Amino acid sequence: MKMTNSQREKAEAFRELHSRNRPLILPNAWDVPSARIFEDEGFPAVATSSAGLMVSLGYPDGEVIDREDLLAAIRRISKALTVPLSADIVAGFGETPEAVVDTVKATINAGAIGINIEDFVHATKLLHSIPDQVEKLREIKKLGSTMAIPLVINARTDALRFAPGDNDQRLQEAIRRAIAYRDAGADCVYPMGLTDAPSIKTFVEALAFPVNVMVRKGLPPIGELQQLGVARVSFGPAASYAVMGFLKRASREVLENGTYASLVDGAISFDELNRLALPKS
């Protein structure tokens, strides 16, 4: 598939968002209406949430979902947006670099202009070896050049969660992996689970490169993250958690109190809901 000028322009714009003096705040959507809300509220780009999107389709996070179902969801979301869309492709749906590259190519053809790719296996919680992950990243980088699209690669490492050792040893392993991924052609590195300011400072200074952190309890506010040198702050599944938490609270209000304030106060209208299903002009 030949890239359209529009998609190439989106890719270029998305890349530029990573080189500003302030962090890119990247919300993660799980379906068309959530993506549209994020765009309508003013975010300059949107990403997909693997956990939120997959659970919305009846699958757990990971690679249990059929790849074509994931691509179909990405395609629907990308068509509904006018801003750039980055897609979470988990670990790439393949053991070999060739299989992962095929997934990335299909993701670009579905309308995405950036990807998030992990370095561990959901089923076993084992980290891929650094050489294996580096080879995949190098081949993905080559694909971007072949397709003439400045694909933005966000290379995630889960070393802070699954590497052996104590907290400091896991942080050092995350840094080691992130440096290797940076040097293999990634455009941004994403140490999953990095939340405390001292560790973020250590990581950012070691990389001297765009770093992505994820919204979760304990993460410093945006202003402090900017001072720490963070380039990108993604919601991850946080918005999905928040919406599901709201539905639980609203359900309890109706069942326990017989009132409906949670469901009507601050809600959008029927017309607004329907407009979220229409492509933004």
147: CATH:
3.20.20.60
Rg (C-alpha) for the chain, rounded Å, is 19
Q: Does residue 264 form part of some domain?
A: no
Residue 163: pLDDT above 90?
yes
Q: Across residues 43-55, what is the average pLDDT?
A: 98
pLDDT(74) > 70: yes
Q: Residue 2 — very low, low, confident or very high, per pLDDT cuts 50/70/90?
A: very low
Q: Is residue 272 part of a domain?
A: no
Which whole number is the average pLDDT over 100-113?
Answer: 97
Which pLDDT does position 183 carry in this prediction?
Answer: 98
Average pLDDT over residues 202-230: 97
What local confidence, expressed as pLDDT, does residue 62 receive? 96
Which DSSP string corresponds to the chain? Answer: -PPPHHHHHHHHHHHHTTSSSS-EEE-EESSHHHHHHHHHTT-S-EEE-HHHHHHHTT--SSS-S-HHHHHHHHHHHHHH-SS-EEEE-TT-S-SSHHHHHHHHHHHHHTT-SEEEE-SEETTTTEEPPHHHHHHHHHHHHHHHHHTT--PEEEEEE-HHHHSSS-HHHHHHHHHHHHHHHHHHT-SEEEETT--SHHHHHHHHHHH-S-BEEE--TTPPPHHHHHHHT--EEE-TTHHHHHHHHHHHHHHHIIIII---HHHHTTPPPHHHHHHTTSPP-
Indicate whether 97 pLDDT > 90.
Answer: yes
Q: What is the pLDDT of residues 3-43, one digit of tens each?
A: 556 899 999 999 999 988 899 999 999 999 999 999 999 99
Is residue 148 in a domain?
yes
**pLDDT value for 4:** 54
Q: Tens of pLDDT along 235-255?
A: 999 999 999 999 999 999 999
Is 1 a residue whose pLDDT tops 50? no
pTM of the model: 0.94
Phi, psi (5° rounding) for residue 263?
A: -85, -20
Which range (64-73, 143-152, 189-198) has the least confidence?
A: 143-152
* 118 domain-assigned: yes
Q: Does 174 map to a domain?
A: yes
Kindly state whether residue 247 falls inside one of the protein's structural domains: no
Mean pLDDT of 158-172: 98
12 part of a folded domain: yes
| 271 lies in some domain | no
Q: What is the pLDDT of residues 117-162, one digit of tens each?
A: 999 999 999 999 999 999 999 999 999 888 888 999 999 999 999 9
Buried b (16+ CB within 10 A) or exposed e, 92-118: bbbeebeebbbbbbbbbebbbbbbbbb
Residue-level pLDDT at 213: 98
Q: For residues 50-59, give the mean pLDDT.
A: 97
Query: Which of 112, 55, 116, 59 minimizes the C-alpha distance to 81?
Result: 112
Q: What is the mean pLDDT of the chain?
A: 95
Give the residue from 179, 169, 229 showing the smallest Cα distance to 205. 229
String of b and e for 182-214 (b: at least 16 CB within 10 Å)? bebbbbbbbbbbbbeeebbebbbebbebbbbbb
Q: What is the number of structural domains in the chain?
A: 1
Shortest CA distance to 89 belongs to which of 35, 150, 151?
A: 151
Q: Quote the domain boundaries for residue 126.
A: 5-237
Res. 54 pLDDT band, cuts 50 70 90:
very high
